[in-house]
Structure 1
Amino acid sequence: MELRQLYYFVKVAKKEHVTQAAEELHVAQSAVSRQIHQLEEELGVKLFLQKGRNLQLTPVGQLFLKRAEVILTDLERAVVEIHEFLDPEKGEIRLGFPHSLGVSLIPQVVAAFRKLHPNVKFRFKQGMYPSLIRDMVKGEIDLAFISPFPDEHEHVCGEVLLTEELYAILPPNHRFAKEESIELSQLKEDTFVLFSEGYSLRPIVWEACQEAGFVPKIGFEGEETETIRGLVAAGMGVSLLPEMALHHTGLLEPAKVRIRHPLVTRNIGIIHRSGEKLPLVAKVFHGFLIRYFHDLLKKQQ
């Protein structure tokens, strides 16, 4: 059995199509088919079944895929560790984070780190809470910013880095747009613009509204912070967003008003796999993050 066969097998399993896998691998389709056939002959089982124009994993193929992914992930990690051993300043950090942190926090943190370690590379992966946890457990990322921070999890651990206040954002001509602060219950008759299902900010806003004594009326849903801000600024409804999502300004901006009751916050943490040593360069970055946010908190006090 050759590593090339495992690479080809995993790629075909993900694409469910030999031609598409071959295009992504930059090899001939016949080469991919031949390697898959040889792998099946060596194992003595069928890994795929034809389903229309696509391929579908057999039950034993699904089992083999899990093992093959672990093998390739471990191999990739071993290569990274060797490169780090030779020169830790030229390693790569595989970092996951939710979309809402990609506007300002991630660029700021990475830029500050690369001033100290200019040759370190980053491979970024954005995702929602469940996918970040899944990617972490599968070994596809080394570290992940996450919100809310998981209280207990069998396979991941980490630290809370900061707690951030959420503000009401309102259309510029809203009746409360000029107020310094409001109670969330004052928005119970308004239409809300919320993140779609699966995004971590949605349940935070939903639970805050319930604590304020009402269920929010949802008029629109979005998947990007900029979309939420734009819809609110255009008068499509009201919403709640964390402070860091409100730093950038544009032609059309919503009003930002503090919520005095209930206090609505989210915590942001950094996680990694439990019981495993971080790659050296990721460990350096992890230590940098702890110091960075500790210093940030001291400045805010």
Structure 2
Amino acid sequence: MELRQLQYFVKVAQKEHVTQAAEELHVAQSAVSRQIHQLEEELGVNLFMQKGRNLHLTAVGQLFCNRIEAILKDLDRAVNEVHEFLDPEHGEIRLGFPNSLGIHLIPSVVSEFRKLFPNVKFRFKQGTYPTLIRDVISAEVDLAFISPFPESHDQVVGNVVLTEDLVAILPPNHHLSGEQSIRLEQLKDDKFILFSKGYSLRPIVWHACLEAGFTPKVAFEGEETDTIRGLVAAGMGVSLLPEMALYQSFSLQPSRLRVSEPRVTRTIGLIHRTDEKLPLVAQSFRGFLLEYFGLDVDTPPIK
């Protein structure tokens, strides 16, 4: 069974006429008839029946046609994806990132990149630290921003592109809200609003509190920076959030203060699969991102 036979078969099924199919395929009518006959002999069934001047699919022919049309569509899609893979100015970039980067960083870098390559499409996928690692390994995404940067992983590599401070956020009426900076130990008697387990910011804040000499008392847990920020602003507790998560302005805002001791930071990295060639469009985006964050394009990835 050859691809040409299947293409001829589907075209005849669509046109219900060999001559019209041959004209659209730009081949001789006899060539189409011969390919259809060979296909029927190989399958051992009649795919068409004559009705007047037209050909109609038999029941088994209709069943076969439905399957073949789906296969040919998948094949066309695969061919297009190969062409896009080889074209750095077109195609699609599949990018993963944590929720906290979706407010400012991702819109900023994508907007700047599309000024240079307006025809590139993006498919975004948000997730937690473990799901982003999994999405990279399973090829659900080409590249992923991740925080913290994985120190060592057999199946992903990448670069630290940014180190960001976490700041303390307090209710507006908190007795420390007028300060420029605080030591984290000054919040030891407050109730904390933290990310739920599984979110990478939770252990960063937890370990910082332990380093400051106390175990945080957890009042509430959340899964979105906006939720945590809103609960703090409403006086439900205190927290630490990345500066990047505080760009948007809402009517209800917490006070934000620099933490002088210990300094609390998170690393943000850009990762991809180990020993696998990225599509050219994704390679182009990776090079753009390294330059955007002030790194040399030839900076080797960290394993």
TM-score (norm 1): 0.72
Q: Which has the larger radius of gyration?
A: 2
Instruction: Kindly report which structure 2 residues correspond to 1:197-236, keeping only aligned pairs within 5 A, or say none.
Output: 197-236=197-236
Unpaired segments ≥5 residues, structure 2: 1-62, 68-75, 296-303
**Aligned counterpart, 1:279:** 279
Could you say what secondary structure the match of 1:162 adopts?
Answer: strand
**Aligned counterpart, 1:195:** 195
The amino acid across from 1:225 in the alignment is T
Alpha-carbon spacing, 1:226–1:205, altered in 2? closer, same or farther (3 Å): same
Alpha-carbon spacing, 1:84–1:211, altered in 2? closer, same or farther (3 Å): same
Could you say what secondary structure the match of 2:174 adopts?
Answer: coil
**Aligned counterpart, 1:141:** 141
Could you say what secondary structure the match of 1:150 adopts?
Answer: coil
1:220-276 deviation line (CA, Å, top 9, x unaligned):
111111101000000000000011111211100000000000000000000000000
Could you say what secondary structure the match of 1:294 adopts?
Answer: coil
Instruction: Kindly report which structure 2 residues correspond to 1:63-74, keeping only aligned pairs within 5 A, or say none.
Output: none
Could you say what secondary structure the match of 1:89 adopts?
Answer: coil
Question: What is the RMSD of the two structures over their aligned residues, measured on CA atoms?
Answer: 2.2
The amino acid across from 2:290 in the alignment is I
Unpaired segments ≥5 residues, structure 1: 1-33, 39-74, 296-301
The amino acid across from 1:262 in the alignment is P
1:52-105 deviation line (CA, Å, top 9, x unaligned):
xxxxxxxxxxxxxxxxxxxxxxx97774232343x4322100000001101111
**Aligned counterpart, 2:158:** 158
- Give the whole-Å Cα distance in 1 for the aligned partners of 2:77 and 2:138: 13
Asked if 2 retains the 8 angstrom alpha-carbon contact of 1:81 and 1:280, the reply is no
**Aligned counterpart, 2:269:** 269
**Aligned counterpart, 1:82:** 83
The amino acid across from 1:261 in the alignment is E
Q: Which has the higher helix share?
A: 1
Alpha-carbon spacing, 1:103–1:237, altered in 2? closer, same or farther (3 Å): same
* 1:159 shift after superposition: 0.2
Alpha-carbon spacing, 1:137–1:76, altered in 2? closer, same or farther (3 Å): farther
Could you say what secondary structure the match of 2:215 adopts?
Answer: coil
The amino acid across from 1:137 in the alignment is I
- Give the whole-Å Cα distance in 2 for the aligned partners of 1:208 and 1:158: 25
Paired-residue identity, %: 65
TM-score (norm 2): 0.71
- Give the whole-Å Cα distance in 2 for the aligned partners of 1:192 and 1:198: 17
Asked if 1 retains the 8 angstrom alpha-carbon contact of 2:170 and 2:239, the reply is yes
**Aligned counterpart, 1:178:** 178
Q: Which runs of 4+ in 1 moved over 6 A?
A: 75-78
Alpha-carbon spacing, 1:250–1:174, altered in 2? closer, same or farther (3 Å): same
Asked if 1 retains the 8 angstrom alpha-carbon contact of 2:88 and 2:284, the reply is no
* 1:140 shift after superposition: 0.7
- The answer to whether residue 168 in structure 2 is matched with residue 168 in structure 1 is yes
Equivalenced residues, count: 226
* 1:169 shift after superposition: 0.2
Alpha-carbon spacing, 1:78–1:167, altered in 2? closer, same or farther (3 Å): farther
- Give the whole-Å Cα distance in 2 for the aligned partners of 1:123 and 1:81: 17
- Give the whole-Å Cα distance in 1 for the aligned partners of 2:150 and 2:247: 27
- Give the whole-Å Cα distance in 2 for the aligned partners of 1:137 and 1:266: 23
